[in-house]
Structure 1
């Protein structure tokens, strides 16, 4: 399950205060209108409930895609470049100053993320394209959520949801890679943590790791069997046993190892203390889940070859890769560590039932349940039928094969202004023509669901007493 990014919000800006064009005087006003539509959409999105936010994502995507051609036209013209085949003369009256909510930065609990004032079009471009990439990741998340929330899904519906999510994640990866190719973005020294080159590169690796891991999820019958077994609405067990077809286990293991490599690269790029702790932990769990899946598929490959003892050793290695320190005997967790793990899983299940975000552990809990199901089944068979020796898992883990890439992401091609639209901007704006500034208030305090966030330690309902006055920039 992809990470649940929080989309940033931004301040209101009149671009004609910073840019003027002798050849296309309507361009700054038209760009301001498109940007204001996006600003309103982002602020409205933040006030929605989590369930309504998923349905609102296409509106965010449409608003960003509508603004990008005008932003890139301003960016190209300010650097004395051509917009398409047409020359645009653009003058910079003042450096662009804009505020963006830094949602990936590490903040104190209970505090809103900072909203720094940024100077330059390159920061605006970085935040706009990063927000579009986060939107694609959230669209992929909404597709995969259907696999967990829907009561019954046909094989065609399941395949369509997974394929659509994979396409969205690859698009997010391409956008991040495109951002890194922009010299003004990759060389920026004063950028906040959200749009620093190391963070953008990490986001590209995370998106590619998630898209790679989805490949095996499409044809992984074991995870689906565990999900059906835990689904109280499922009644298939009454008239048929779960069908577990043979899988290309060794190939799936190598694909999972490639995903683990990408997650490891992202983990090395996200410095602790700089980036949100939930994202850093998710990246570490993503690598553990990918390596745990790889060990589990190698166990399946060994078991299909009649090597049940070696398969059990691989499952022990999978538990080691997942970071599970408890012992399992006769299908039951033993010791205080096993008791603690069971308690954490029950707490996670209750949190999800109450509407909490699913997949914050990158699927580690689901993979743990699959490994335990196979270990209990094979251990029982090995004790009664095969009676094979279970070798130690450490030498097996050291002999893991190399990862195999599955995807070949295509480069991102941003939308451009067509010649007809650009030609219409040669006409000067009328005396009464003004840019749309948006319907949302331009406030730095954007509380969830329309409520102003309470300061830390404040009595509930007294947040108005802690606001800034009109003449002072201090809270006190």
Structure 2
């Protein structure tokens, strides 16, 4: 499960119109690389979902970034001089708009080269997150709904799980890099700047996509049979906590220029918080059952069912349509079917054999442990620039191919 980002498009730009100094040929190459990115983003917008090539977009950004970072470094070292203020235009796909939404959102002009870098890296994060989503969808198609035994560790599913978690982890690291390294360098032009320029938005997206990566890693561990029920509960609580922090950041933002973070992002995060709290309670119930605490097991399953119902009630989709969708609410509906079976079974055992009191909601709340993480966030390291009198902007000692080690 991960959020389905819209990829932005951008207006045409020739860097030769803005700079004078050395590197005339390199500046032309930078314009050509940017033109390639603009073309693939426009093509992505027109293609059907099945025909979209996210790897091509990621590779094109990998090729463009060293040139863009070279321009930034040359500007900072005074090797390049801007002949006029640099402006680029990008669609704000994270904003709520009265008329336009998603990839049809209006393009917003921003001043400064860091505005360009910000949107390029955000687009990179969107694309890698979407690639993680594609891996998850493939997993769902290949994986049986109710495996009867742990899968072998050499299963092709293990590789897909790793790719999905890694893609989402990469997206989270890029979002955090934008928040900590790029946005502070961007000079806010006016109050009408898009929500993408707000640091808390990128931090929230980093937490959201990292939570998505964590959930994939948990599912892998459960499928391969090496995760205890009590630890699964703590890990799901960790996922819910990440979503909760993301929602807190976004919901506390003051809107500017009439724009706010898109409502479907807020809904996704809120749904995710409720869903993973429910999953944690399910595994707390299973752990209680293993330890002969049937009253506690029944109590947590009731609370789990209530949370799953809340997720579905927040959706405007009708139940029969929900079963065919891939939303969080659809997962909640499917999970509720399994929880109902468990609740019926555990209630019968408690009513006929165990005779244990079912704790109150307040007592159950006190039994909920702290959350934990299963993955560490990666650190995003920008590629090394390709021109300029410098050699270590990206934190590496030698220049290497931008896509070294990355093949799809």
Is the aligned partner of 1:129 residue 2:121?
yes
Note the C-alpha offset of 1:105. Answer: 0.5
Contact 1:315 1:371 in 2 (8 A): yes
Cα deviations across residues 86-123 of structure 1 (Å, max 9, x unaligned)? xxx11111111111011111013566312111111111
Q: Are positions 1:172 and 2:171 aligned together? A: yes
In 2, Cα distance between the equivalents of 1:310 and 1:198?
39
Q: Could you tell me which of 89, 95, 102 is aligned with 1:99?
A: 89
2:292 corresponds to 1:306? yes
Cα offset, 1:360, TM superposition = 4.8
Partner of 2:109: 117
Question: Structure 1 residues 16, 412: CA separation in 2 closer, same or farther (over 3 Å shift)?
Answer: same
Paired residue total: 373
Quote how far apart the aligned CAs of 1:409 are. Answer: 1.6
Contact in 1 for aligned 2:229/2:283 (Cα 8 Å): yes
The structure with the greater share of residues assigned to helix is: 2
1:318 positional shift? 1.6
Instruction: Kindly state the Cα deviation for residue 157 of structure 1 after the two structures are TM-superposed.
Output: 2.3
Q: CA deviation at 1:29?
A: 0.5
| Aligned twin of 2:137 | 145
Q: How far apart are the structure 1 equivalents of 2:188 and 2:180?
A: 16
In the alignment, is residue 195 of structure 1 matched against residue 202 of structure 2? no
> Once the two structures are superposed, what CA deviation does each residue of 1:307-359 show, in whole Å capped at 9, x if it has no partner?
12210101112223345499xxxxxxxxxx8xx99983322124x3xxxxx23
Give the corresponding residue for 2:73. 76
- Counterparts of 1:71-470 in structure 2, within 5 Å, are 71-80=68-77, 89-108=79-98, 112-150=104-142, 156-182=155-181, 184-185=183-184, 188-190=187-189, 191-220=193-222, 247-271=227-251, 274-324=260-310, 344-350=318-324, 352=325, 358-361=326-329, 363-418=331-386
**Deviations 1:162-219, CA, capped at 9 Å, x for gaps:** 1111111111111111112226546643441123111111110101111122222113
Q: How far, CA to CA, are the matches of 2:332 and 2:311 in structure 1?
A: 14
The CA distance in 2 between the partners of 1:205 and 1:379, in whole Å, is 37
Aligned-residue CA RMSD in angstroms? Answer: 2.9
Q: Could you tell me which runs of 5 or more consecutive residues in structure 2 were left unpaired when the two chains were aligned.
A: 254-258, 392-408
Sort the Cα spacing of 1:325 and 1:200 in 2 relative to 1 into closer, same or farther, 3 A: closer
Q: Tell which deviates more after alignment, 185-194 or 168-177.
A: 185-194
Q: Which has the higher contact order (CA 8 A, sep 6+)?
A: 1
Measured against aligned partners, the alpha-carbon deviations of 1:423-471 in whole angstroms (never above 9, x if no partner) come to 9xxxxxxxxxxxxxxxxxxxxxxxxxxxxxxxxxxxxxxxxxxxxxxxx
**In structure 1, what is the Cα distance between the partners aligned to 2:317 and 2:36?**
46
Describe the SS at the equivalent of 1:220: helix
Distance change >3 Å, CA 269–CA 361, structure 1 → 2: farther
* TM-score between both structures, scaled by the size of structure 2: 0.83
Say if 1:21 and 1:372 are closer, same or farther in 2 by CA, change over 3 A.
farther
Residue 463 of structure 1 corresponds to none
Residues 107, 17 of structure 1: alpha-carbon distance in 2 compared, 3 angstrom cutoff: same
Partners of 2:50 and 2:231 in 1: CA distance: 36
For normalisation by structure 1, the TM-score amounts to 0.72
* 33 and 80 in structure 1: CA distance in 2 versus 1, 3 angstrom threshold: same
The separation in 2 between residues aligned to 1:292 and 1:285, in whole angstroms, is 11
- C-alpha deviation, 1:370, in angstroms: 3.3
C-alpha separation in 1, matches of 2:185 and 2:215: 28
Moved more, 207-216 or 189-198: 189-198
Please give the alpha-carbon distance, in whole angstroms, between the structure 2 residues aligned to 1:260 and 1:220: 17
Contact persistence 1:126–1:179 (CA under 8 A): yes
- Aligned equivalents of 1:97, 1:342: Cα separation in 2: 41
